[in-house]
């Protein structure tokens, strides 16, 4: 992550074009985050709403953006808490995929400045804990999103990640991921 951040700061990050299917991404995230979510007693519930188009983003970058975001937020959850996220495509002249992630209780209500500037925090476990802290992880996700034409907005009770969606008119639907 430090190397990636340094590449972005120097303008040396090369982003390949590509397409990422939402069901594939949700499955990869489930596998990648299973150990940390189980260890911390957090249930991750991601929903693919109708419509959901593929991301117009390379699969490696998509996976990195979402795994960094979710891992950092999972660590902010209390044991037994449910973390809810929803993928949805906003249709219009240009289609955008939006991912709304509810903030855990202990992070909800914090300002953007508080979240982005938070330092590494002690966690219940060192398994997957963000070495550089929540603030670094959120700034990294925001910068990665910007590098592919997207954005990360920090709202009072949620995070809203917007990334370009495929413009081909194809939508995909899946009721719920993780069951």
How many angstroms separate the CA atoms of 161 and 163, rounded? Answer: 7
Q: What's the confidence (pLDDT) of residue 14?
A: 62
pLDDT at 27 over 80: yes
Q: How much is the average pLDDT of 77-104?
A: 93
Q: Is the peptide bond before 51 cis (omega within 30 degrees of 0)?
A: yes
Residues 77, 58: Cα–Cα separation, whole Å: 29
pLDDT at 107 over 60: yes
Helix (H, G, I), strand (E, B) or coil at 115: helix
The pTM of the full predicted model, rounded to 2 decimals, is: 0.81
Residue recorded with tokens 């194809």 = 170
- Would you tell me how many other CB atoms lie within 10 Å of the CB of residue 125? 10
Backbone CA torsion sign across 92, 101, 59, 16: positive
pLDDT at 28 over 50: yes
Could you give the C-alpha distances from 61 to 92, 95, 155, in angstroms and in order?
A: 24, 19, 23
Count CB-CB contacts under 10 A for residue 39.
15
Give CA–CA dist 171/169, Å, rounded. Answer: 6
**Which range has the worst mean pLDDT, 36-50, 143-157, 164-178?**
164-178
Query: What pLDDT, on a 0 to 100 scale, did the predictor assign at position 171?
Result: 43
For residues 106 and 78, the answer to whether their CB atoms sit within 8 Å is yes
Bridge partners of residue 154, in order along the sequence = 159
> In this prediction, what percent of the chain has a pLDDT beyond 90?
53
Q: What is the mean pLDDT of residues 75-101?
A: 93
pLDDT-derived band at 9, boundaries 50, 70, 90: low
pLDDT tens readout for residues 118-167? 764 533 344 444 445 788 889 889 988 988 899 999 999 999 999 999 98
């Amino acid at each position: 992550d430090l190397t990636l951040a340094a590449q972005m700061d120097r303008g040396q990050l090369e982003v390949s074009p590509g397409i990422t299917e939402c069901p594939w991404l949700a499955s990869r995230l489930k596998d990648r985050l299973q150990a940390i979510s189980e260890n911390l007693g957090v249930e991750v519930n991601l929903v693919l709403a109708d419509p959901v188009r593929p991301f117009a983003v390379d699969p490696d970058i998509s996976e990195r953006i979402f795994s960094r975001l979710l891992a950092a937020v999972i660590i902010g959850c209390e044991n037994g808490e449910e973390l809810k996220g929803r993928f949805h495509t906003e249709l219009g002249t240009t289609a955008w995929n939006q991912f709304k992630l509810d903030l855990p209780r202990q992070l909800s209500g914090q300002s953007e400045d508080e979240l982005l500037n938070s330092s590494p925090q002690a966690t219940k476990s060192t398994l997957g804990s963000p070495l550089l802290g929540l603030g670094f992880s959120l700034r990294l996700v925001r910068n990665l999103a910007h590098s592919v034409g997207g954005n990360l907005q920090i709202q009072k009770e949620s995070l809203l990640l917007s990334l370009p969606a495929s413009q081909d008119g194809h939508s995909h639907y899946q009721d719920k991921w993780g069951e």
